[in-house]
Amino acid sequence: MALTIFILQLAVRILAFPLYLLNFLGLWNRICKKCFFPFFLVRFTATYNKQMASRKRELFSSLQEHASPSGELCLLELGCGTGANFQFYPPGCRVTCVDPNPNFEKFLIKSIAENRHVQFERFVVAAGENMHPLADGSMDAVVCTLVLCSVENQERILQEVRRVLRPGGAFYFLEHVAAEHSTWNYFWQQVLDPVWYLLFDGCNLTRESWKAVERAGFSKLQLQRIQAPLSIALVRPHIYGYAVK
């Protein structure tokens, strides 16, 4: 099976040779981050939100329970992208956004204008592994959706999440993950993963992100595995839930 996967990966790489050439010349990263990926994400998240709206409403329904004693909810969205989650946040919450790609800002501003029920605080251009502009214990909740698939270091990200959360604060997550190893879906995830990673700005199809969340040291963890109702089978396996510091 490993040999079959290797041969198919090689065939896919040959078909994607122009993409690899652009990457070798140092051009693809700039094209992807500035042009292709932000515009792709706008279209993708609109479809994704329609297909996953009920799950997102269910997941974020308890956000207000983690507000500070004053009733104010300070929320950090990690890997905010285009601001696709704003519509699901409770009225009055104060949202800070972190993303390493500054090219998302213009799309974020549009999302803010369309979701006046939330109070936007600021957009911080930073990797989730190093959120030094954010103070320790400054957030009531951290939200992370479709992000752990593409970060460089999941363990470091989750350390930073725990650092910025106040005691009793919660980490909410919704992530696509690797399929069950015995399935054809996992087989094709492995075959297509190298090209997928390059095409979609570092996204990995075969990450078992639940393991990192389980090891992160939260005092309470609610985690469910589901098959999301998405048209692309490769990203149907999902985990979602929340963890309390």
pLDDT for position 75: 97
Cβ-proximal residues to 158 (8 Å cutoff; 6+ apart), any chain: 171, 212, 213, 216
CATH topology of domain 1-83+90-244: Rossmann fold (3.40.50)
The span from the CA of 113 to the CA of 87, in Å, is: 11
The span from the CA of 99 to the CA of 63, in Å, is: 21
Give 60-73 pLDDT, tens digit per residue: 999 999 998 888 99
Residue 7, burial from CB neighbour count under 10 angstroms (0-12, 13-18, 19+)? exposed
CB 113 within 8 A of CB 142: no
pLDDT for the residue numbered 31: 80
Q: What is the pLDDT of residues 24-57, one digit of tens each?
A: 888 888 887 777 888 888 888 889 999 999 999 9
Structural tokens at position 236? 């149907």
DSSP secondary structure letters along 75-104: EEEET-TTTTTGGGSPTT-EEEEEES-GGG
What pLDDT, on the 0 to 100 scale, is given for residue 30? Answer: 81
Give the pLDDT confidence score for residue 81 in this predicted structure.
Answer: 85
Q: How long a stretch of residues is the chain? A: 245
Distance CA 30, CA 34 (A): 6
Give the span between the Cα atoms of 96 and 73, in whole angstroms. 11
Q: How many Cα atoms sit within 13 Å of 184 on the Cβ side?
A: 1
**pLDDT value at residue 32:** 78
Spans in the chain with pLDDT lower than 50:
none
- Alpha helix ranges (H) inside the chain: 2-15, 17-24, 28-31, 37-60, 105-114, 154-164, 184-199, 209-215
What pLDDT is stored for residue 33 in this prediction? Answer: 78
pTM across the whole model? 0.93
